[in-house]
Amino acid sequence: MSGENIGNPLELLKDKMDGENYKKLCAIRDIRVHKFIAEAAELCRPKDIFICSDTPDEIAYIKHMAIASGEESAALLTPGHTFHFDGIYDQARDREVTKFLVPKGDRLSPAIKQIDRDEGLMEIFSLLKDSMVDRTMIVRFLTLGPQNSIFTIPCMECTDSWYVAHAVSLLYRKGYETFLKLTPDMEFFKTLHSCGKVDERKISVEHEKKRIYIDYVTNTVYSVNTQYAGNSIGFKKHALRLAIRKAHREGWLAEHFMIMGVHGPGGRKTYVAGAFPSGCGKTSTAMLPGETILADDIAYLRNINGVCRAVNPEAGIFGILRDINPRDQPLLYQVLVSPNEIIFTNVLVKDARPWWIGMGCNLPDEGINFSGRWWRGKRGPDGKEIPPASDNARYIISLKALSNCDPELDNPLGVEIGAIIYGGRDYRAYVPIQQGYSWEHGVICYGAALETETTFAITEVGKYEINVMANQDFISISLGQYIKNYLEFGKKLRKQPLIFGANYFLRDLKTGEFLNSPLDKHVWIKWIELRVHGDVGAIKTPTGLIPKYEDLAELFKQVLNKKYTVEDYRRQFTIRVPENLSKIRRVREFWSTQVTDTPNEVFEILDEQAERLIKARNLYGDYIPPDKFEKE
C-alpha cells in the first residue's frame, strides 16, 4: 500500500461503490483518506464498499448486517443482546504475532516485539491480498477522545467484518463529521482489517496466519485472520501504542488508566485515575457503588494551563465478564442482565441467555460456545478440556448505558485529575494504600515499580513480573524515555495530582490469608479523596504516607458500616522491612538490566527509600507497626 500505483484514488473507487457511497466519500476532501481506501480496495478486492456517514439508519443497518451475515446472533431473550464467537485459537490478544514494523536504521527496546518494516509489510500484504473477494469493505470514521477537542485523534477503519463495524459503534465516538473538517496538518490513525478465511459459523480459521502489525511510520494498524476485538479493532491497545508515540512527541501522556468520579463531603466530586494490571482490581475500583465511571481502560492526560486534565479516548467498554456477579459487582451485573445494546463474545449460550465463569450460579452442562456444540468434559484439539465459556469472555457496551456513567464523559476539556493510583498484586511488601512523598517518588516507587506476584509463599520463591504503570505491553518507545516523559510532565504542572500506591492483595506472612476484604477498596478510595483536599492527616513511613487509624475507623463505619479494629490496622499497615528491601532489589535489577536508558532519578529515589527502610529497621526492627512512626 505504498500509493505509487494509485493515480486519482477517487476515480479508481468510483467503480467500486454505488453513487450514494461515492458521494459520501467525496464529501471528505482529504486525499490521504481517499488513497488509503483505494489502496485497501486494490489489495483486498472487495465486491463493494460501504461508507458509513454515521446516520442512525446506517448505524442500524450495520447492526442488522452483523446479525444477517451470521457474525452475530440475536437469539437471546433480553432485548438488545447479541452474541459473537471467535475461533478456539482466537480468544485473546496475541502477543506473539503483534509486532511493530520498524524501518531500517530505527530500533525499539528489545522487550518490544518487532519486525523489519519492509519484511513485515511484504508479509501482511500477502496475507491481505484478495482477502475481501465477495465481501463488502465497511469504512468507519471515528474519533479517539471527545470531538472538537485538543484531545481528539481522528481515526478510520476499513474492515470486512460487520461485527467489528458494529462493535465500534458502541466503543467509540462517531467521526464522519470530524473527517469532513480534516485539514492537511491533522494526524489521524488508520486500520485495515480482514477476517481472512472463515468457516460456516463465520469464524476465522487460519489462526496460524494471524498477524497484527503496527506501522508507526504511517500510523496504520494491519490485522488479518482474526476477529477477536482486541486484535481486529485497531483503536483498542494498538492505537494506544501509536498514541504513546504521539504523546512522546507532543508532551502529554497516553495511559492504561481507569478514571472515576469520587464523591466527597459537601457534594464535591474528585476525579481519580488508576493503573492496575489485569486481575488487580481496576474494573471493580472504577465501578464502586455510589461513585461515577468516566473510563475503564485508557486515558489521555494533558497539561492545560498547568492543570492535569484527562479524557477517555473511548466511549464504551470492552470488558471481561469473568467474576462479574451480583455480590462482587452488583452495578455491572445488573446492567448486563437488563435490556441494553450489548454484544457478548465467547460466552456459553443456553436457554437463550449468556453464561460466563464466575457469574455467581451453576452453569449449564451443555450449550453452544466458541467450540461449537459444547458439553461438560468436551476436549479441544490439544486434548485439554474446553471450559463452558472462555476465561476471557467479553461484553461490549456503551458507557452511557451505565447508570453511573459520569456526565463529563464528552467534555472536550476533559476533567481535572486529583489523584493517580498505581495498584499491583503484591502479597508481601506494600501496605494496602499509601501516598507518595512527591510526584517523582510516587511515579517511581509505585508506578515504575508496579509489580505483580503470581504465586505466594512465605520464603521468596514467588514469581514476580514488573509491569511499568500497568502499561508495559503497549509502551512503544524506550522505557527509559517513557519514565523521563512522566517526570517532565509532572514538573511542568502547576497543580500536580497526588500519587498513591494500592495493594488489595496483602497477605499475612504466617497464615497466607488476605488482609483486605474486596470491599475495603472503597475505604481506600474515600481516604484518597480526602487527602487530595487536605481533609485528613497521614503518618510518615519509609515507603510513603499512610492513613491514621482514627480516620480509617470513621471511614469503615461510614462507607461499609463495619467496625475497624486497631488489630486490623496494625496487621494491614505494619511496614515489612525485609520484604520491602527485596522489592527494591528486584525493581532496581529490572531497571539496571532490562532498560538501557534509565534516568538516574529512578535509582536515586529507590536508594533513598532503601535508606529510609534500613534506618527504620535499625531503630525498630524488621516489622514496624504504624504507631512507631510520626504523624505528618
Any idea which residues carry the catalytic annotation?
280
What is the residue-wise DSSP string for 316-361? Answer: EEEEE-TT--TTT-HHHHHHHTSSS-EEEES-EEETTEEE-TTSSS
Tell me how far apart the alpha carbons of residues 393 and 319 are, in angstroms, rounded to a whole number: 8
What H or E segment, with its residue span, contains residue 447? none
Tell me how far apart the alpha carbons of residues 351 and 355 are, in angstroms, rounded to a whole number: 10
Tell me how far apart the alpha carbons of residues 354 and 357 are, in angstroms, rounded to a whole number: 11
Tell me how far apart the alpha carbons of residues 327 and 334 are, in angstroms, rounded to a whole number: 11
Extract the C-alpha cell encoding 430.
506494600
Tell me how far apart the alpha carbons of residues 419 and 532 are, in angstroms, rounded to a whole number: 7
Query: How many residues are listed for the chain in this entry?
Result: 632
Tell me how far apart the alpha carbons of residues 333 and 359 are, in angstroms, rounded to a whole number: 8
Is the Cβ–Cβ distance between 148 and 221 less than 8 Å?
A: no
Non-local CB neighbours of 339 within 8 Å, separated by 6+ positions: 78, 79, 80, 81
Q: Which amino acid is at 535?
A: D
Tell me how far apart the alpha carbons of residues 540 and 527 are, in angstroms, rounded to a whole number: 16
Residue pointed to by grid coordinates 532498560: 595
Non-local CB neighbours of 409 within 8 Å, separated by 6+ positions: 146, 294, 312, 315, 399, 400
The residues with which 211 forms a beta bridge, in sequence order, are 224
What is the residue-wise DSSP string for 232-296? Answer: H-TTTHHHHHHHHHHHHHHT-EEE--EEEEEE-GGG-EEEEEEE--TTSSHHHHHT-TTSEEEES
The residue among 500, 503, 486 whose CA lies nearest residue 451 is 503
Q: Which amino acid is at 355?
A: W
Tell me how far apart the alpha carbons of residues 231 and 221 are, in angstroms, rounded to a whole number: 10
* 326 φ, ψ (degrees, to nearest 5): -60, -25
Classify residue 351 as exposed, middle or buried by CB count within 10 Å of its CB (0-12, 13-18, 19+). Answer: exposed
Q: Which amino acid is at 630?
A: E
β-pairing, 415-424 vs 269-275, is: parallel
**In 3-state terms, what secondary structure has residue 546?**
strand
Distance of CA 532 to the CA centre of its chain: 25
Q: State in Å, rounded, how far the first CA of the chain is from the last one.
A: 61
- In angstroms, what is the C-alpha Rg of the chain? 25
